[in-house]
Structure 1
Amino acid sequence: ALNGSIAGNKNGFNWNLYGTYKSAGDYKNRYDGKVLNSRFNEKNFGGYIGINKGWGYSHLIFSRFDQRLGLVEGDRDDATGKFILFAGSPLERIATNADLDARDLFVPQQRVQHNKLILDNNLAIKKSRLKINLAYQENRRQEFGNPEDPSEKELFFDLKTINYNFQWQLPEMKEWHTTIGINGMQQRNENKGVEVLIPEYSIFDIGSFVYVQRLFKKATLSGGVRFDNRSVDSKEFKEGANTKFTAFTRSFSNFSGSVGVSFEPTDALTLKANIARGFRAPALAELASNGAHEGTNRYEYGDPNLVSETSLQLDGGVEVNYEHFSIGLSAFYNRMNDFIFYRKLLSVFGGDSLVNVNGNDIPAFQFDQHNAKLAGVEGSVDIHPHPLDWLHFENTVSFVRGQFDNTIDGSDNLPLIPAARLVSELKGDFKKTGKILHNLYVKLETDKTFAQNHPFSSYDTETATPGYTLLNAGTGAEITRDKKTIFSIHLAVNNIANIAYQSHLSRLKYAAENRVTGRTGVFNTGRNFSIKLNVPLNFAKK
């Protein structure tokens, strides 16, 4: 990866330019070796020009993101267990070592181009402030999956979005700080590919809100309320004489809001509590999908009759900060009505419902919704004992549990819930270790993910996932001369023991079985080394 940036500021006129290039070959793990077509490359650049004065500021921000991703399918040869290229096509063959060592992407692959232009204004008007943000975005997502014509765009979503945000911070009144505003977007999608996964559509969002905050001597009280409306206009689409997508219009609206308090009875203790009501309109893919794309290995069916999700959440926390240690604990409970999720469809003959797409049988999924609840807890402990002020022992633990109100095909567990996790890091920070070496650090980390034994097993959608522990290490420092940093260098090794594992949230966990080893799916990244070099350059005019 290469990254560079340059910035300037003179008499309130300021600007910035940056650019990044990344290229990665196929990653490797203990069980799969090199994972075919897990490679990617990425180019992006951007910056801004603006002016900052006593009246506020105005910035014009622009960016361009261009990413190409290989899409892992995980098909294997029955006799050897090796990965197969172009499965299901006349060009199907076993991948060679040269194929695995190359960096050019094979099909299936995806290209995402995102252009963004933002006008960000913050104006001081007497004792109030007016924020005006306008943006235009273009997102072009293309998928290529035809080995006989690699340039053919099987899917091509051309999405254009206009965003607007107006906020007025009113003058302070008896220590009450009030902000009112309106924001939303206009969005339109056109299909320009050979196949169509979702219909062409337009969406208009508008929302208005009021937010207030009151500062007390030892407490802060804040709260707000907003109203949102989303209008969806989905277009009809026919394949020959058959109607693949029926036109429909929907409108979703609801209120949401929150009230929270932060209380500091002492300098070392902070207590927080919050109650919030949320609202989410169904995404277009949830309403109208009818197709498959290579990125998910699923054939998805939407449901145009879905209603909005609403939720009521309670959360609270406590933080204790002393000179030699810090402790934090937070918890939440979220009650969700009409929670939207996808589930695997079953065949009338038993087993998975499969849809044949270009010679490949892909499992079918349907979007559905039910009432559910979600609860979680997160804790942290940071020990930095005196006189060993350079030493830090940081620990964080998190746990989330999600359940439907009623059992669905034998399971009440929510899908896509991460397993409990414990991360511990022992780190030494040495501010000065010589004339040229500064800010040296050395760290050792264990990242333990517990088993997820509460999968959404309904309709064979998910399976349990065993736990695993990864060992990571890193070091870095700044090299200086005459009290100026010449460069900084950072070294890291992740998964030192080269543990073979699968994340519970990975779609590749459900890829094809390796008949030679009996293992199902593709495993995550094995041992990984990285080195990072930062070289600051100063072009200040004397």
Structure 2
Amino acid sequence: MKLKLISCFIFSFLFLRIAAFADVNIVKGKVVDAKTNEPLIGATVSVPELHVSVATNTNGEFTLRSVPANGRYVVQVQYISYKTITQTVDFSSTTALVFALQPSIIETHEVVITGTPVTAGSKYNSTSASVVSKEQLQGSSTNLIDALSKVAPGVSQITTGPGISKPVIRGLSYNRVVTLSDGVKQQGQQFGDEHGIEIDQNQADRVEVLRGAASLQYGSDALGGVINVIEPSSPPEGNIKGDVLSSYSTNSGLINTSVMLSGNENGFVWRGRGSYQNAHDFKTPFGYYQNSGFNQSNFSGMLGVNKAWGYSHLNFSYYKNNIGFFDAEPGDELYRNETSRTLEYPRQDIRHYKLAWNNNFIFGSNSLKLDLGYQKNQRRELEDSTIPSLFFDLNTYSLDAKYSLHEFNGWRPVFGLSSSIGHSVNKGEELLVPAYDEYSAGAFGFVKKTWEKNTFSAGVRFDYVANKGKEQVVDGDEVFTGFDNKFSNLSGAVGFTHIFNDDLSFKSNLGTAFRAPNPAELGSNGVHEGTQRYEIGSGNLSPERSYQADATLEYGSGIITGSFGIYENYIHNYIYASNTNNEQITITDEGSGDLRTLDVYRYGQVNANLYGFEGNLTLHPVSFVHFENTFSYTRAQNRSFDRPLPLIPAGVLHNTLRFEPKIKGLNDFYFYAGIDNFFKQTRVDATFETPADGYTLLNAGIGATFKLGSQPLKLYISGNNLTNKKYYDALSRLRPGRYSQEDPTFGVYNPGRNITFGFYLPFGTNK
């Protein structure tokens, strides 16, 4: 295993040496107002594929230094109160670039999507996608997924209080959603729903949410979609930039602080960030839910080079999260009137270490992207001391290579390879999932054709996945029988986009995808403490196979912007755990010696059909008023037993009225009021789920940017659930029926009123 990783690094190093002889190029240009031809000072010009960005000077001019001398690249130009431009530019041209921006109350009319085989503007990309900015991620959210669920259509979350969120896209979650960070698939025992995704919520400069099957590029697990967390671009040569942010939330006393600093000296780039979060028990309308606090420490950094031959960045990160959980039983008191930041037992200790080496080597008009990764995920459950009772230790090595050929006659071909090796061991006394080894390899071919106002794309991929669970005997009893499964799959996809005019565009997709069963589904046999149930896997499970179609219409004019999409996803051999026939088991608690009776959940397979719609609509009656609306609905049916599929989010409608009046002495002043409408979820699997009532939450906020010398300081206040509404979210793991089948009325309300006070201070030089 180590030899393979070393070989990959040597391979990358050789390419680095060869590519170092690439020609050096400088691209110059200017950004102006399309109506007056006046220069726009401080406009941002970026090339996402090269991880470079610059700002225009007092004459509206910019210079991109040390960029490739050949090739066509997507350039994005942004400026406040103007339409964003994305344009493909031939870097071999000697003509100075001129970008003429149209004034608009819509700032993000067009965005660049990088998480697909070919980087392109959203209009030219058939994938249904949303881009969430850093500003949108700030506010009263408690983690990254919580923030995305409030602003990205089609995204929701499975929660265990404010500290734990799992992403759900179009009704699919767990191993069916891929999360990318530093270009590497996050590997952290995704089968568990009682811990998050081990990513610092402050590190993202923006997040791309790709909705729909994405197995073509990412292989197994991308049935529902992809969350691509993108860190800030390096500053221009000779500059340093950074930021400081902090916030305090009243409900759980959450303190969130983060500091980042990055620099670029003659193409040698670096970045460092440190973040810390601390929260006590969260408060419901009935009191503080016991032992629900958490504290989280994150450290990350990057060292690399940006040159004409491309870039090579070494990223490293350390994540640690301590989370309390209340081992309650029916009849126990759930709430208390006062709280502290000291976590009691039982609790979790989650740690994630990651190294990612991201490379993009330019060969004339061709390029090779090579991402190498190593991750160590450690998940400890501590019952009554710092000695873990359950301890998963997962080590994952990964490689992802993508070779893009030059464009000819409008055709852009891409070929890719990926592989990973996972090795998990049990280091605790309690056992749930056997120690296992997981191997995967895949290859794909993709082609994209653009002509006039149309874009066509198609691709095919082959995957091979092997899971080997190890037999284990304890005190003469066989706990795990072991398994040795091998899966392979051929999948494909086609996409089409058409731009009717500057305001209206259409996109559609048709494809297949697959997901191999994970080790928990194949081999579980034990108490899952975080879920209060006994889980039993099946070594005979088959891969899930998805057949999906979607279509989206997007519109953006001066006063109306929006999109509306529909989708259908038929999944053959859909896997989930259920409690059938009220099966129970009685076990002896190793700590106290007491007998415990738990519901038994067995993993099985059915055929499932998920379909629905999602979209957004924003009205701009005048320049300083924005009426923003997002909506989504998923209907999911267990076709094998003709009943609803479990763990499906309720329909939701977010409405926000935002005002941005011009006030002398204040920059970017705004205030808003919003209503979140969550509809009833009566379509539940009655064998182990209970219906959830609908509810409405009132939110509001205010903020402005002040000047500290030449540096901006953003101050804001935001409030959620201002009426202190008592409610159960349909996907909360603490709601009635999820927490205890023995007493279906036994549950924990979601957090009550929460007000967040925060600031954000970006700073840096501008040479």
Q: So what's the TM-score if we normalise by structure 2?
A: 0.64
Counterpart-to-counterpart distance in 2, 1:29 and 1:241:
47
Structure-1 residue corresponding to 2:248: none
2:599 aligns with 363
- State the alpha-carbon separation in 2 of the partners of residues 133 and 481 from structure 1: 40
Deviation, 1:295, is 1.8
Name the Cα RMSD after superposition: 1.9
Whole-Å separation in 2 of the counterparts to 1:428 and 1:439: 10
Give yes or no for the alignment of 1:433 onto 2:660: no
2:50 corresponding residue in structure 1: none
**Residue from 109, 113, 118 that aligns with 2:356:** 118
- Between 1:16-25 and 1:327-336, the stretch displaced more is 327-336
Equivalent residue for 2:652, pick from 421, 428, 441: 421
Match in the other structure for 1:27: 282
Q: Deviations over 1:473-519 (max 9, x none)?
A: 1111111155x23421111110001111111112211335999xx95
Shift of 1:249: 0.9
Q: Which amino acid aligns with 1:522?
A: V
Q: How does 1:434-453 map to 2 (within 5 A)?
A: 434-435=664-665, 437-453=666-682
Find the counterpart in structure 2 of residue 128 from structure 1: 366
Aligned mates of 2:490, 2:583 — CA distance in 1? 40
Would you say 1:470 and 2:697 are equivalent positions? yes
Following the alignment from structure 2 to structure 1, what is the Cα–Cα distance between the partners of residues 586 and 265? 61
Match of 1:353 among 534, 559, 584: 584
Q: By how many angstroms is 1:380 displaced?
A: 1.7
- Secondary structure at the aligned position of 1:499 is classed as coil
- Find runs of 4+ consecutive structure 1 residues off by over 6 angstroms: none
Structure with higher RCO (Cα < 8 A, 6+ apart): 2
> In the superposition, relative to structure 1, how do residues 215 and 355 fare at CA in structure 2: closer, same or farther (>3 Å)?
farther
Shift of 1:355: 3.8
Asked if structure 2 preserves the Cα contact closer than 8 Å seen for 1:199 and 1:236, the reply is: yes
Contact 1:513-1:521 at 8 Å conserved across structures:
no
Q: Is the contact between residue 71 and residue 294 of structure 1 (CA under 8 Å) also seen in structure 2?
A: no
Distance in 2 of aligned mates of 1:203 and 1:116 = 18
Q: Which amino acid aligns with 1:449?
A: F
CA distance in 2, matches of 1:28, 1:452: 24
Matches within 5 A, 1:32-111: 33-75=287-329, 78=331, 82-83=333-334, 100-111=338-349
1:196-236 superposed Cα distances (whole Å, 9 cap, x missing partner): 11111101100000111111111111121111100111111
Structure 1 counterpart of 2:663, one-letter code: T
Give the TM-score normalised by the residue count of structure 1: 0.90
**2:381 pairs with 1:143:** yes
Mapping of residues 70-469 of structure 1, within 5 Å: 70-75=324-329, 78=331, 82-83=333-334, 100-145=338-383, 147=384, 150-346=385-581, 351-356=582-587, 358=589, 359=594, 360-385=596-621, 388-407=622-641, 412-430=643-661, 432-435=662-665, 437-458=666-687, 461-469=688-696
Q: Is the 8 Å Cα contact of residues 482 and 523 (structure 2) preserved in structure 1?
A: no
Alpha-carbon displacement from aligned partner over 1:317-372 (angstroms, at most 9, x marks no partner): 111222111231100011111111111143xxxx4524435133322101110111
Q: What is the distance in 2 between the residues matched to 1:174 and 1:463?
A: 57
Q: In terms of mean alpha carbon deviation, does 196-205 or 503-512 score higher?
A: 503-512
Are the structure 2 counterparts of residues 423 and 357 from structure 1 closer, same or farther at C-alpha, using a change threshold of 3 Å?
farther
Look up the SS of the partner of 2:734 in the other structure: helix
Distance 1:286 1:19 in 2: 36
Alpha carbons 2:453, 2:499 under 8 Å: kept: yes
Matched residue, 2:112: none
AA partner of residue 394 (structure 1): E
Q: Greater shift after overlay, 301-310 or 314-323?
A: 314-323
Three-state SS of the structure 1 residue aligned to 2:530 is: coil
Other-structure match for 1:6: 261
Aligned twin of 2:166: none
Q: Tell me the amino acid that sits aligned with residue 141 of structure 1.
A: R
Contact 1:514 1:521 in 2 (8 A): no
| C-alpha distance in structure 2 between counterparts of 1:329 and 1:109, whole Å | 43
Q: 1:541 deviation in Å?
A: 9.5
Counterpart residue identity of residue 38, structure 1? S
Aligned partner of 1:90 in structure 2 is none
Q: For residues 471 and 352 of structure 1, do their structure 2 counterparts lie closer, same or farther at Cα, with a shift above 3 Å needed?
A: farther
DSSP-derived class of the 2:749 partner: coil
Contact 1:74 1:508 in 2 (8 A): no
Selected match of 1:15 from 270, 279, 291: 270
CA contact (8 A) 1:299 1:355 kept: no
Q: Which residue of 2 aligns with 1:480?
A: 707
**1:533 Cα deviation after fit:** 1.4
1:276-314 deviation line (CA, Å, top 9, x unaligned): 101100011000001123222221110100000001111
Deviations 1:99-147 (A, max 9, x none): x5121111221111000001111000122001111111100110011x3
Deviations 1:360-415 (A, max 9, x none): 33221011101111101113211001xx21110011111100112232xxx61101
**CA-to-aligned-CA distance 1:394-449 (integer Å, 9 cap, x gap):** 11111100112232xxx61101110111110100124x4223x2111111111110
Distance in 2 between residues matched to 1:72 and 1:450, nearest whole Å: 29
SS at 1:287's partner residue? helix
SS of residue paired to 1:266: coil
Asked if the contact 2:531/2:739 (under 8 Å) is kept, the reply is no
* CA shift in 2, pair 1:428/1:541, >3 Å: closer
Q: Give secondary structure in 2 for the equivalent of 1:258.
A: strand
Which one is further off, 503-512 or 395-404?
503-512
Cα distance in 2 between the residues matched to 1:332 and 1:17: 41
Q: CA deviation at 1:535?
A: 2.6
Whole-Å Cα distance in 2 between the matches of residues 259 and 247 of structure 1? Answer: 39
Greater strand content: 1
Deviation at 1:171, TM superposition (A): 1.8
Question: Quick check: 1:74–1:522 contact (8 Å CA) kept in 2?
Answer: no
Identity of aligned residues (%): 35
Where in structure 2 are there 5+ consecutive unaligned residues?
1-255
Structure 1 stretch displaced more, 161-170 or 485-494: 485-494
After TM superposition, give the deviation of residue 247 of structure 1 in Å. Answer: 2.5
CA distance in 1, matches of 2:588, 2:564: 49
> Would the alpha carbon gap of residues 174 and 345 (structure 1) be closer, same or farther in structure 2, given more than 3 Å must change?
same
Deviation at 1:248, TM superposition (A): 2.2
Specify the SS of the correspondent of 1:49: strand
Q: Which amino acid aligns with 2:381?
A: E
Asked if the contact 1:108–1:294 (Cα under 8 Å) also holds between the matched residues in 2, the reply is no
Matched residue type, 1:53: K
Shift of 1:252: 0.6
Are 1:511 and 2:742 an aligned pair?
Answer: no
> Unpaired runs of 5+ in structure 1?
84-94
Q: Paired residue for 2:19?
A: none
Q: Give the equivalent residue in structure 1 for 2:133.
A: none
